[in-house]
Amino acid sequence: MTYLWVSIAFIFGFLVRQIGLPPLVGYLVAGFALNAAGVAPDPSLQLLGDLGIGLLLFSIGLKLDLKRLARLEVFGTTFSHMATIVLLTTLNCFLLGSFGMVYFAGIDLAAALLIGFAVSFSSTIIAVKVLEENGEMSTRHGKLAIAILVVQDIAAVAFVTIASGAEFSWALSGLLLLPLLLPLLSFVLSRSGHGELLPLAGICLALLGGQFFEWMGLKAHLGALVFGLLLSKHSKAAELSKSMLNLKHLFLIGFFLSIGFVALPTLPMTFAALIMAIALPFKAMFFHLWFVLFRLRARTAFLASLSLANYSEFGLIVAAISVKEGLMDADWLVIMALAVSFSFVFSGALNARSDMLYERWSTLLRRYQRQPPLPLDEPDSVGNATVLVVGLGRVGNGAYETLYRDFGSAVCGVDVDRSRVDKLRNSGRAAIVGDAEDPEFWARMDVNSLHLVMFCMPNFKDTLHAVNRLAKQGYKGSTAAIARFEDERQALIDGGVDQAYNLYAEAGAGFAEQSVGLLAK
């Protein structure tokens, strides 16, 4: 039966992609369609889904900075928002129950509080997948959303551990052994090379972390996250994360399909789930409100809020435990599964248009922005630079160094990742933190003083957005960009880029030009 669910997943994923929605929406629909057609769930789906979630959390750990979790805007927003959602959801459950609505009528306080707790979580899987597809994992709002999700996941794991009656004493004593494992884990990673053994090492380490935590009575997924965190300072952490990217997305298809097999919903269940889905804009609104109260910029707050505007797979776990303990009616597990599915569709569609939505409402949103902004949100200046290199990855760094030899201080680098900017600054170069897709970034700058802007961003759609933002500010200089494929290169040219280079083709040409000198020796 494997061929059937693989084919159906591809067909639905392909179809929704044609209308501008993320493929994961199609995978969710495919799961419900297979269930409705009477297809028995394949046991391998759950296995693949669990592996995908483990790899996802492991890769988050590889990029995680613990200092970020301790910031007031992270833990303050997380717990303030959680308390707000639990309170309002509880009140809404009783309000709907007073009207005699099915599944809400007669609900008790414990069940209402648990429903509120379940819907207060946002989906790590969806948020990370959307951020990765949009190339926003390293942005300010991307890192903020991930930090919020990690704190939420820790709260969820604490609930699951308490509810399952696990002993904290043994778990905590086992955690003390983790630093002793670091030299061994680092040695394995260092000796795994750069080929197919590297992603296999990542899978092995993620599974090992999960098994280690299960032995201590904790959730396996938390173990994968912690093992990734242990290796986050390793020199190959970024390479390992990239090597597992496609594998992670492939395995997660099993998770999305398996949601559709939880149960076949009735019409009243669907209606109850739709009522919960209608509350999603309010969930996003309260995230934005708390972010702004903690002095985040309007755009950062808005985009992070959209990333978190969904319900979580952890909500299903909370519901399942509550049903098992007799605190909630069994039908609520199906309702929660439906609500989570609806939220995934909502989140996928919303985040695909996040920049457009911000532009539409930016004037209103900026009106409520608090001053002064947080230190991390203070705008930087490009000084007297006339050449900008946007994106300081390997290609951007190489381009920067070449230009610096010819133009010196007239060159300035731009990147959303502060660690890349700090690295360049520490070597005496000019660089600033900035998001080229942010219209406010270009609005604060005198673009007429620039002669050349080079876009070295990996996602060509991000480059097109940035070029469009730059053009709206009246920029008259030249632009250049990179692309991975020929159709992307042509799209950049059609979108107004003066020169677009096929990264692989140009690398080959440059290699040949530099090597031909060897013939003269």
Rounded average pLDDT per 10-residue block, the chain, 521 residues: 80 84 78 84 80 82 77 91 95 92 88 92 85 78 89 77 56 69 86 85 88 79 84 84 80 80 81 92 95 90 93 78 78 85 85 84 86 74 86 87 87 88 88 84 83 88 86 88 88 90 70 57 53
- The pLDDT assigned to 321 comes to 73
**Could you tell me which CATH number the domain at 2-367 has?**
1.20.1530.20
Helical residues (DSSP H) of 19-71, grouped into ranges:
23-36, 43-63, 66-69
Q: Tell me how far CA of residue 149 lies from CA of 30, 63, 239, 295, 419, in angstroms.
A: 27, 13, 23, 19, 21
- The pLDDT assigned to 334 comes to 82
Which pTM does this prediction carry?
0.74
Strand (E) or helix (H) holding 121: none
- The pLDDT assigned to 71 comes to 86
Q: What is the CA radius of gyration of the chain?
A: 24
For the domain with range 379-520, which CATH number is right: 3.40.50.720, 3.40.109.10, 2.60.120.260, 3.30.230.10? 3.40.50.720
- The pLDDT assigned to 278 comes to 92
Dist CA 104 CA 381 (whole Å): 55
Report domain extents, the chain. 2-367, 379-520
Tell me the three state secondary structure of residue 389: strand
- Please answer whether residues 376 and 395 qualify as being in contact, where contact means their C-beta atoms are separated by less than 8 angstroms: no
Shared fold status for 2-367 and 379-520:
no
Q: Tell me how far CA of residue 289 lies from CA of 397, 462, 519, in angstroms.
A: 38, 27, 66
Helical residues (DSSP H) of 99-139, grouped into ranges:
109-119, 124-133
- Please answer whether residues 487 and 464 qualify as being in contact, where contact means their C-beta atoms are separated by less than 8 angstroms: no
